[in-house]
Amino acid sequence: MSSEEQDTVKTICPYCGVGCGIQVQQGEEPGDVRFMPWGDAPVNEGRICIKGGAATEVVDHEDRLTEPLIKEDGEFREASWEEAYEYVVDELERIRDDYEPDAMGFFGSSKTMNEENYLLQKIARRYGTNNVDNCTRMCHASTVWALRTSLGAGAMTNSMADLEEECDLFWIQGANPGEQHPIANSQYFRQAVLEGATVIQVDPHANKTTRSFQIDDTDRHQHLQLKPGTDIPLLNAVIKTILEKHEEEPEAGWIDEEFIEERTEGFEHLKETLEEFDKEAAAEECGLSLEEIELAAEKYAMANNAAIFTGMGMSQHACGVDNVQNEINLALITGNVGRPGTGVNPLRGQNNVQGTCDVGAMPNVLPGYQLVDDDEARESVEDVWGFEVPDEPGLTNVEVSHEFGNSVKGLYVMGENPVMSEPDANSVAERIQELEFIVVQDIFMTETAEYADVVLPATTWAERDGTVTNTDRRVQRMRGVDKVHENTKHDLEILSEVGCRLFGPENFEFDDPEEVFEELREVCPIYHGMTYDTLGEEGLHWPCYEPGDEGDSYLYADEFDTESGLGHIEGVSHTPPDEVPDEEYPLVLTTARLEEHYNTGTMSRRSPTLNRQIPENFVDVHPADAERYGIEDGDEVTITSRRGEITVEAQVTEDIKEGVIWTTPHFAAASANRLTNDVLDERAKIPEYKAAAAEIEVGIEP
């Protein structure tokens, strides 16, 4: 074996949920690491996007946290690990004694591994609270809710590979894979379109997805550029069109009567909901013509295999659960679930957001989506852990944040940045100061870590071993190179030490990530059949119930994983966004991410390659709005909402719909989240990032 082979590890890109395999080569010195392609990686076969190729740039960044820090008189000073651990454990014990376990909140991280999130949620539950959550709350909590309730599992029904091979029509609503999942888009979905598949894209913003599918002059790509927050009227118009056409031509196959009869429940409710529904009025509400909606409905219904892709444009609304339920309705009435090339498929944002949910870092579920208030499920986990788990769901992360200084007194944050990632970020920054104790473990001094009492320096993705689960439920191993800074620690090591000091070694002493995974398998039925050996280099899709199972690339071939075994149809009605334009704030502000950056930008803003591409935030403004406001392309403009203001450069473009402005959350001082509304979906508690009332004016000279 050459020295190059010896010093190179196969691991997974730390950015999006596609789960591309990459290699990291270790140089002579710690921190001297280099990206290398992994030619036969199972998901991407060596292809990589700009973020993946730049991922190693931040491993040895000068801003890395290298020593534990304790705040004294408002300033951080270096501390020993012993001092830091003692402080953390004393404060956790004090808060539990002075108040109750629910006075703490624990935030897991989709940028860390399954084993680490598993251990964090186990600490929270041993502490006595279900107040543990992760950033899925911000992206797909509503999707997970609707899919789990109506089909059985909060995950993609299908896999990228079967979609590429079998799908004839991609219905992409509120998702932007061309930008957010570039390799999935180019390697799988675009490939299918090149071979003849059709794309219906539903989005208020024309983007890289739009352009990637404008392949020829056929009508195989249709963009329904609706107004933000009108997804329910749009889908209701589509569904009503399909039902009406079926009445006119019962033999034409507009709906799948046999599938509805044998495999679903609730069809009558859907029909009743739509009895009085006015398609013309709905089209007007969406800002579209009825003809283009009917054309899209016909294409979807007549496809042999149609798949829905759903993203944060759907989930990040106060009606997010209903939005996704209506996609499920469309798929179920046409029989487009349970076969290769079909289904309802959420494209997950971060490289381990799926896994972080799978392993139970959520307030209502234990590992494997077993409900905390299901006595039988909870007791089966308690039998392995040897302690009692609280039987009431805890608070979600936004609810914890709303309770800062009230019922919540302390916060444990692993690799998250709520001061920037939560909506109405200015008020989060104020509220977090009401807490009595905050500990943050991270690789950089984030906007949240600035408010911490103790900061614990963790290692990066490239330095650690463990597993992550990608958007199509494939669990894959990550492998680390040498630690860059001697006095940093892996998240798992930190959690294990905190757990042992709080509760004794019995439940929290682990030699390595594999030992943690072995325990995870015991309490997580969908992972039970996996071991580090069987994961190998290919990984395995869950569910994988028994050793030897190869995992399922698509779900629900025979029945749904619901109590009745049936897919649940339920009619839904339009709920407008919480804030609609008025005289004071006459525009709709909507938000989304860029290919070149990643969420709060903690890593991507420190990557020279990525930052060079897009160093600052900007806002897209329609030419008609620009003319009304006297805005020229490149002008500095100030955007205001009821919660704050940001100043950014204007891009005048027809990419965005008239009356709507579009910006991003990546840049701290000018983050969209200083403006967004923190109203929540009642059930899934996801905030409405995608629609807020706003005003814009040409920037005032300093």
Q: Which residues bind ligand SF4 (CB under 6 A)?
A: 13, 15-16, 18-20, 44, 48-49, 51-52, 181-183
What is the DSSP annotation of 197-259? -EEEEE-SB--HHHHHH--SSSS-EEEE-PPTT-HHHHHHHHHHHHHHHHHH-TTS-SS-HHH
**DSSP alpha helix (H) spans, 188-228:** 190-194, 208-213
Measuring CA to CA, how many Å separate 28 from each of 54, 359, 563, 683?
20, 36, 57, 52
Distance CA 400, CA 409 (A): 10
C-beta of 13 vs 318, nearer to ligand SF4: 13
Considering the complex, what minimum distance in angstroms separates the CB of residue 47 from ligand SF4?
Answer: 8
C-beta of 48 vs 555, nearer to ligand SF4: 48
Tell me if 18 sits within 8 A of 177, measured CB to CB.
no
Q: What does the block give as tokens for 438?
A: 């905050």
C-beta of 48 vs 103, nearer to ligand SF4: 48
Considering the complex, what minimum distance in angstroms separates the CB of residue 542 from ligand SF4?
Answer: 19
C-beta of 48 vs 138, nearer to ligand SF4: 48
Considering the complex, what minimum distance in angstroms separates the CB of residue 50 from ligand SF4?
Answer: 7
Distance CA 333, CA 335 (A): 6
Considering the complex, what minimum distance in angstroms separates the CB of residue 213 from ligand SF4?
Answer: 17
Tell me if 533 sits within 8 A of 121, measured CB to CB.
no
Q: What does the block give as tokens for 109?
A: 């991280």
Considering the complex, what minimum distance in angstroms separates the CB of residue 104 from ligand SF4?
Answer: 33
Considering the complex, what minimum distance in angstroms separates the CB of residue 632 from ligand SF4?
Answer: 34
C-beta of 274 vs 478, nearer to ligand SF4: 478
What does the DSSP 8-state code read for residue 687?
B
Helix (H) / strand (E) element for 173: namely strand 169-173
- Find the residue with minimal CB distance to ligand SF4: 52
C-beta of 45 vs 559, nearer to ligand SF4: 45
Considering the complex, what minimum distance in angstroms separates the CB of residue 11 from ligand SF4?
Answer: 11
Burial 182-193 (b: 16+ CB within 10 A, else e): bbbbbbbbbebb
Considering the complex, what minimum distance in angstroms separates the CB of residue 140 from ligand SF4?
Answer: 16
Q: For residue 559, is it left (φ>0), alpha (ψ between -120 and 50) or beta?
A: beta
C-beta of 183 vs 428, nearer to ligand SF4: 183
Q: What does the block give as tokens for 639?
A: 């955007």
C-beta of 41 vs 260, nearer to ligand SF4: 41
Considering the complex, what minimum distance in angstroms separates the CB of residue 52 from ligand SF4?
Answer: 2
Amino acid at 668: A
Find, among 615, 613, 639, the residue nearest to 208 by Cα.
Answer: 613
Count Cβ atoms below 10 Å from residue 656 Cβ, excluding itself: 24
C-beta of 12 vs 297, nearer to ligand SF4: 12
Q: Are strands 644-652 and 618-621 parallel, antiparallel or unpaired?
A: parallel
